[in-house]
Every structure is written in structure tokens, then in C-alpha cells.
Amino acid sequence: MTESILVLAHVDENGAALTKASLEAVTAGVELAAQLSAPLSIGIVAAIAPSGTCVLASTGARLLAVSGEAFAQPRYATDAAACEALCRAAAATIVLAPGSARFTRVAAGVAYRLGGCIDTHITALSATEGVEASRWFYRQRVEAVLSRDARPWFLLLDAGTHAAFAAEPATAQIEQIAVELPAVRTTVSGLRAPKQDAQTIRPEAKMLLVAGAGWTKKQPDGQIHVDQAGELILGFLRHTGASLGSSKSLVDQGGEGVPVLPFLTHMNQIGQTGATPRHAKGLSTCCHGEEPHVVGWRFIGDRRAISLDPNCGWTRGKADVVYIADAFQVMAKVNALLGSAKA
Ligand SMILES: Cc1cc2nc3c(=O)[nH]c(=O)nc-3n(C[C@H](O)[C@H](O)[C@H](O)COP(=O)(O)OP(=O)(O)OC[C@H]3O[C@@H](n4cnc5c(N)ncnc54)[C@H](O)[C@@H]3O)c2cc1C
């Protein structure tokens, strides 16, 4: 089958640049097109279409754009119409798109309109015998390699699975694709987002800090020190921009009347019944490292842990480095060093 590959991309909230996840999809598209010797198109959705010079010029792809005020904000009706128009203009058989909130919302609908099919959470692509896409099932325990005959085949890529495409901007020809807008019922009146400090889940961060239940347990002086624990954890996040994960035991405590860290919710939970994030490094603190928790660390590159217990799960081959130490003391020292390095 001769394939025609389209990468769908969108700009960030400021409307200025393509999102990192979109640039990761571009890398995936460039690689797949090279493996298949197939034509590549890149379709951009933005209020103001990039013109003149563009980082995508060196991809050698056909560049298409849908632009206009209607595309300044994510909205099902307009985004679906934009993506459909781009897919038709490119006559795409394989459509790669970032698994962003914006495209995840519309991609299945667009696939349906085009009589195609869709798979999500794709982590790798190859083209040995036709196009093959990998994804994980059953809480990241089973990896499957999928192939399909149906076309167009939409593949939503998980963030962090490809390097973001980077190149010197160069002069590019970008074709404007006209879209017939449907009746639009939804108007976007504004955005309400938590303050940067309050938003502790940061998928793009290089590092993951995990807080375990030990932070709220009695310490060697016979007392609990929850306030101090909160300050140490938030201080580390402020200094490093790390993402915050938690063990299940810690986030479950809220319901049991035990003192809790107010900035943690079940959304922070890492593990079998929680999230499986992707970060280059991870530091576990006051967490025992039991298997149902550690399974959520599958995609963490360098794993380190601080635990008082020399027999904890981390020391049994689950971490690269384990510090048998008091996390209150270690993190206070680390924060002080980070503070003086910044000053
Ligand atoms: C079906 C099932 C699904 C589950 N899913 C998940 C999941 O998705 N995610 C998850 O996390 N768990 C999950 N669990 C629970 C998991 O098995 C563990 O119970 C949980 O991870 C324990 O959390 P913890 O290590 O923070 O707490 P604890 O086991 O209480 O460990 C606290 C640790 O802190 C250490 N500590 C205390 N004070 C200090 C200090 N000052 N400095 C350094 N270390 C200190 C202690 O030595 C201890 O090792 C699941 C369990 C089941 C049965």
C-alpha cells in the first residue's frame, strides 16, 4: 500500500509557536516517511498561520495550514472541521497527531467522518511490514504492536516518546486550506487555570519527585512534621520545576482523618492504579517502593530513592541509587544547596 503521511500540529496557548508535543509528532512523521519513502505533509491549526520563515521548512514536507480567529481557541466544532479539511487536502492515509487535550478531543470524530479508524497512546512507530504502531495495555504491563488495513489510520502519540523536531527556521511555502465552518454554538469566554505554583503535575518536567506516606508519619523524635514536609516538598518543586507524584498511601490518607499535604490529590498518584509518567529522572522520598507503586516508574530513566528503611523495595533492585537517610534532613540540605546555587 502506498501511504501518504500527515502530521497534524497546533500552536500553544499564546498562539506563537507549535507545541512541543506537535514537534514530537513532526519527528515521528519525518522518521516514518523516510522509512516508507512516503510523501509527508504537515497540517497546522492556528489563529495566525506561520508564514515566511518556519522551522518546518527543512522537513521537506508539504506544509498546509488552517487559520483564522475561529481557531484561536480549542473548540470541538472548529477544530474537527480544521483537521478534516487538512486530512482531505493531504489525501492522508496515515495521520499522526500529538495526544494533546486539543487533538484528543476531536481526533476520533475526524477519523469517523473520514471513514477511518484511530488508535491512541502510541509510543513508537515502525515500518517493517507496513506501518506498525506500539502501545501499552493493562497499566503499562503489556506492550502491543498494532497494524491495520483500514485507512485513514489516525495515531495519537503519547508525549515524550519522540524528540521534539528542531531546525533553523528557513523560508517555507505554506498552503492555506479553506475550511467551511459549521454553525458554532460554543464561545470561549476565557481561561481559568490554577496558579503555576498550585499546578504540581508537570508532564514536561525533566524530573519527578515522589512523596510517600513517610512524610506524614511519626519521626524519630516521636512527632509528626507535616508542615515542614510540605515546605520541603514545595521548596524542591520551586527550585527545580520538578513534577510531583505520590504513593497511594499518602493520597489516601485524606479520607482517614490523618494529617495530609493539602497540595496532593489522587491525580498525583503514581503506580498500578495511578499514573505512569515519563521523566528523565525520578527521586522517591519517604516511600517504601512496593511493586504496585514502582510499576508506575516504568518510564523513569534514572531512579533514586531516599528511605530510612535499608530493606525497602527500592534497595531490592528497583532503584539505581538508594540513600538510606532521613529525607527531612536530605531535602533540607538539597533545597539549601539549590537556593545558594540560584543566588
Ligand atoms: C491492587 C493494588 C493497587 C495499588 N496501587 C498502587 C498505586 O497505584 N500506587 C501506589 O503508590 N501504591 C499502590 N498500592 C499500594 C502499595 O502496595 C503500597 O501500599 C504503597 O505504595 C505504600 O506507600 P508508601 O511507600 O508511601 O507508604 P509506606 O509503606 O507506609 O512507607 C513509608 C516509607 O517511608 C519511610 N520513611 C518514613 N520516614 C522517613 C524519613 N524521615 N526519611 C526517609 N524515609 C522515611 C519508611 O521507612 C517507609 O519505608 C496498591 C496496592 C494494591 C493492593
Q: What is the pLDDT of residue 196?
A: 61
Asked if residues 154 and 40 have their Cβ atoms less than 8 Å apart, the reply is no
- In this prediction, residue 239 has a pLDDT band, given cuts at 50, 70 and 90, of very high
- Averaged pLDDT for residues 277-288: 96
What percent of the chain is modeled with pLDDT above 70?
97
- Grouping H, G, I as helix, E, B as strand and the rest as coil, residue 120 is strand
Task: Report pLDDT for 106.
Answer: 98
Average pLDDT, the chain: 93
> What residues are paired with 306 via a beta bridge?
285, 323
Number of domains, the chain: 2
Give the helix ranges, DSSP H, for the chain: 20-36, 76-90, 101-113, 226-240, 248-252, 291-294, 327-342
Higher pLDDT, 92 or 128: 92
What does the pLDDT read at residue 197?
A: 66
Claim to verify: residue 224 and residue 292 sit in the same structural domain = yes
Are 170 and 240 found together in one domain? no
Q: Which of 176, 192, 215 is the last residue of a domain?
A: 176
CA 174 – CA 51 distance, rounded (Å): 7
- Predicted pLDDT at 218: 94
* 196 belongs to a structural domain: no
Same domain, 147 and 265: no
pLDDT given for residue 271 in this prediction? 96
pLDDT reading at 203 higher than 90: no
In this structure, the answer to whether residues 14 and 154 fall within a common structural domain is: yes
Both 105 and 228 in a single domain? no
**Whether residue 163 sits in one domain with residue 40:** yes
Residue 55, in any domain of the structure: yes
CATH number at residue 55: 3.40.50.620
pLDDT in tens, 269-282: 999 999 999 999 99
Judge whether 190 lies within some domain: no
Residues 132 and 258 in one domain: no
Q: Is residue 29 within 8 Å of residue 42, measured between CB atoms?
A: yes
Query: Quick one: pLDDT band at residue 283, thresholds 50, 70, 90?
Result: very high
Instruction: Give the three-class secondary structure for 246.
Output: strand
| Residue 264 within any structural domain of the chain | yes
Q: Please give the Cα distance from 13 to 249 (Å, whole number).
A: 35
- Compute CA 43 distance to the chain's CA centroid, rounded to the nearest angstrom: 21
Average pLDDT of 119-128? 95
Q: Whose CA is nearest to atom 22 of ligand 1?
A: 249
CA atoms of 234 and 296, how far apart (whole Å): 22
Residue 258 grid coordinates: 490523618
Q: What's the confidence (pLDDT) of residue 277?
A: 92
The whole-number pLDDT of residue 258 equals 66
Q: How far apart are CA 155 and CA 76, in angstroms?
A: 18
User: Would residue 232 be called left, alpha or beta, if left means φ above 0 and alpha means ψ between -120 and 50 degrees?
Assistant: alpha
Strands 153-157 and 62-67: unpaired
Is 201 a member of any domain? no
In three-state secondary structure terms, 64 is: strand
**Nearby residues of 118 by Cβ (< 8 Å), 6 or more positions away:** 107, 108, 111, 153, 154, 155, 156
Say what the pLDDT of residue 191 is. 77
- 223: CATH: 3.40.50.1220
Domain shared by 234 and 107, yes or no: no
Stronger pLDDT, 265 or 41, i.e. the higher one: 41
Contact between 281 and 301 under an 8 Å Cβ cutoff? The reply is yes
Look at the alpha carbons of 152, 154, 155, 159 in this order and tell me if their dihedral is positive or negative: positive
Give the integer Cα–Cα distance in Å for 322 and 319: 6
Which residues have C-beta atoms less than 6 Å from ligand 1?
Answer: 212-214, 217, 219, 247-250, 269-274, 286-288, 290, 292-293, 296, 306-309, 312, 326-328
Mutation choice for ligand 1 from 210, 256, 286, CB with most ligand atoms inside 8 A: 286
CA dist 165 and 21 (Å) reads 10
Question: In the block, which residue shows the cell 521548596?
Answer: 235
Check whether the bond before 152 is cis (ω within 30° of 0): yes
Q: Which residue type is seen at 259?
A: P
Note the pLDDT of residue 257: 66
Nearest Cα residue to atom 50 of ligand 1: 292
pLDDT, position 56: 95
CA of 60 to the centre of ligand 1 (A): 50
pLDDT at 12 over 80: yes
Q: What is the pTM of this model?
A: 0.75
Residue numbers of the domain that contains 248: 207-342
Same domain as 303, residue 212? yes
The DSSP secondary structure of 166-178, one letter per residue, reads ----EE--EEE--
Q: Are 172 and 36 found together in one domain?
A: yes
Query: Given the DSSP bridges, would you call strands 40-46 and 5-10 parallel, antiparallel or unpaired?
Result: parallel
pLDDT in tens, 44-102: 999 998 777 889 999 999 999 999 999 999 999 999 999 999 999 999 999 999 999 99
Residue 185 lies in a domain: no
If asked whether residues 30 and 76 sit together in one domain, one would say yes
Higher pLDDT: 214 or 191? It is: 214
* Ranges 57-66, 197-206, 322-331: which has the least confidence: 197-206
- Which of 153, 176, 199 is a domain's end point? 176
Strands across the sheet containing 243-246 = 243-246, 207-211, 279-285, 300-307, 321-324
Q: What separation in Å is there between the alpha carbon of 294 and the centre of ligand 1?
A: 10
Mutate to test the pocket of ligand 1, among 269, 273, 312 (most ligand atoms within 8 A of CB): 273
Q: Would you place residue 330 in the very low, low, confident or very high pLDDT band (cuts 50, 70, 90)?
A: very high
DSSP symbols for 92-119: -SEEEEE--HHHHHHHHHHHHHTT-EEE
